[in-house]
Amino acid sequence: MSTINQPTAPPRLAVPELLVGIGLLACAGAVAWQTLAIPVSPLYSKVGPTVFPYLTMVGLVVLSLLLILAAFRGGWQPEEEKETPTDWKAMGFVVIGLVANLLLIRPLGFTAASVIMFVLVCYGFGSRHTLRDALTGLVLALAAYFGFARALGVNIGAGFIESQLNTVIDAIIGGFGA
């Protein structure tokens, strides 16, 4: 018997991809809604404060539509991956890391909260090198913090660590200026 002429079953709807696509589309709508609330001065000729949010929104719309299309075509995962059970313990560590960051950023500051989140997410992804993960998270968090705070002048949650480092940096800069 030949299998060449046998009709193939139509692809099933991939619900996870559809839900993520709809969620991304909702995020794009939220970005558009918030971007419309940004006041734009007539002094901006071509590039104003809304250009990058609109570019982000367009990217989200394109990605969400591609995911929705993939969902209607049966999804982007191979069948053997779809049959792999979800590791709920690992997912729990990732979610706990994100929630910990949300709850700890105000009392501890950006850097400490980000390091805790980084370590928990790394553990969720299978890393068992806590010290290495904490040091990597510290370097990344400090780079992000000082990139925003020093370079852009945006306060994203200064805590004890950031205050101490700001004092040291100001003393060093003051020493060169004297």
Tell me the pTM. Answer: 0.66
- Identify the pLDDT of residue 45: 64
98 close to 124: Cβ distance less than 8 angstroms: no
Residue 5 within a domain = no
- Identify the pLDDT of residue 176: 78
Q: Does residue 61 share a domain with residue 30?
A: yes
Number of domains comprising the chain: 2
- Name the residue among 100, 15, 27, 20 with its Cα closest to residue 57: 27
Q: Does residue 70 share a domain with residue 92?
A: no
Q: Does residue 23 share a domain with residue 67?
A: yes
Which helix (DSSP H) or strand (DSSP E) does residue 171 occupy?
helix 160-177
Residue 165 within a domain = yes
CB-based burial of residue 10 (10 Å sphere; 0-12 exposed, 13-18 middle, 19+ buried)?
A: exposed
Structural domain harbouring 63 = 11-37+47-75
Residue 126 within a domain = yes
Question: Along the 178 residues of the chain, how does pLDDT read in single tens digits?
Answer: 555 666 666 677 888 889 999 999 999 999 999 999 988 877 766 777 888 999 999 999 999 999 999 999 888 777 777 778 889 999 999 999 999 999 999 999 999 999 999 999 999 999 999 999 999 999 999 999 888 887 878 888 888 888 888 888 888 888 776 5
Q: Does residue 169 share a domain with residue 100?
A: yes
Residue 42 within a domain = no
- Identify the pLDDT of residue 131: 97
Residue 4 within a domain = no
Residue 134 within a domain = yes
d(CA 15, CA 27): 18
Concatenated DSSP letters of 106-151? HHH-HHHHHHHHHHHHHHHTT---HHHHHHHHHHHHHHHHHIIIII
- Name the residue among 11, 120, 121 with its Cα closest to residue 72: 11
Residue 103 within a domain = yes
- Identify the pLDDT of residue 22: 97
Q: Does residue 71 share a domain with residue 33?
A: yes
Q: Does residue 102 share a domain with residue 20?
A: no
